[in-house]
Amino acid sequence: MSSHHADTAKNFPVTWEELHRHAKALAWRISDKGPWKGIVAITRGGLVPAAILARELNIRLIDTICISSYDHQNQRTAQNLKAPVAVEGEGEGWLIVDDLVDTGKTAAIVRNMMPKAHFATIYAKPAGRPLVDTFITEVSQDTWIHFPWDLNPIAYMQIRND
């Protein structure tokens, strides 16, 4: 995803190293809130953060919930493609992981499915923030976060230098 898609005012590119540090910080912040039955990663953005949290917190049971709501930077109606299979009841004791909350639409769907789970993201924008239990870094609503899995290094350098 390159900057010509930008309809948000500010670009916030994140490197693999920054992402890794922030994901570890998230793991430490929730380490005393367990024990956890397992992690539910919200695909696809939650997959890499979930992998880092799983190693840091020594969690081996990883489920997914598959939701799609954006084409590039354009939001459309969220599609629920797959529910978790290992989660029973209201999700008590489960840790839900996503990369960020923006409008909170994705988080609202997931919260509805698992109201008692702990919802953790690395980044949060103000509109989605009330739906998250734990996050690490807040950015303003008009900021677009660029994740390292979506950028090649050259595009990353261009945005970084803007």
Ligand X SMILES: O=P(O)(O)OC[C@H]1O[C@H](OP(=O)(O)OP(=O)(O)O)[C@H](O)[C@@H]1O
Span 50-69, contacts to ligand X by CB under 6 A? 68-69
Q: How far is the CB of 53 from ligand X (least distance, A)?
A: 15
Task: Choose the binding region for ligand X from 9-17, 89-97, 102-110, 153-161 (rule: CB under 6 A).
Answer: 102-110
**Residue 145 touches which member of ligand X, ligand HPA, Mg ion, none, C-beta under 5-8 Å by kind:** ligand HPA
Backbone φ and ψ of 55, nearest 5°: -70, -45
105 lines the binding site for ligand X (CB under 6 A):
yes
150 is catalytic: no
| CA-closest candidate to residue 36, choices 20, 56, 66 | 56
Buried b (16+ CB within 10 A) or exposed e, 77-94: ebeeeeebeebeeebeeb
Q: Binding ligand X by CB under 6 A: which of 41, 104, 119, 136?
A: 104
Is 76 marked as a binding-site residue? yes
CB 95 within 8 A of CB 38: yes
Shortest reach from residue 115's CB to ligand HPA, in Å? 23
Give, in order, the Cα–Cα distances in Å from 71 to each of 78, 79, 110, 115.
11, 12, 19, 27
Q: Residue 133 catalytic?
A: no
Residues marked active site are found at 98-99, 102
